[in-house]
Amino acid sequence: MTLYDCRKGDLLRVLKIQSETTLKQRLISFGIMKGAKIEVLEHAPAKSTIEVKVSKTRVALRDKEAQLIEVEKI
């Protein structure tokens, strides 16, 4: 499943990021990398964004970016 498929309140572990180097490096700089634990804070389809919490950092991702992040529920 991808991050895009998740709902508010879900606790997840990142399995894989399927993107080119530039976006992958940006996500890693936010702490979104293989093995990272993240929580979905908000999924706003009207704005096409998903807000997640990684450690103590809040990150807003576009839907198309969230579709590239494979996760599993924990």
Tens-place pLDDT, residues 28-72: 999 999 999 999 999 887 788 999 999 999 999 999 999 999 999
Q: Check residue 20 and give its pLDDT.
A: 83
Backbone angles phi, psi at 54, to 5 degrees: -120, 115
* Residue 16 reports pLDDT greater than 90: yes
Q: Check residue 46 and give its pLDDT.
A: 76
Pick from 8, 23, 22, 36: nearest CA to 68: 23
Pick from 39, 43, 41: nearest CA to 31: 39
How many CA atoms, within 13 angstroms, populate the side-chain half-sphere of residue 45? Answer: 5
Domains of the chain: 3-73 (2.30.30.90)
The DSSP call for residue 19 is S
Q: Check residue 71 and give its pLDDT.
A: 97
Pick from 30, 25, 73: nearest CA to 55: 30
Q: Check residue 66 and give its pLDDT.
A: 93
Q: Is the entire prediction scored with pTM above 0.85?
A: yes
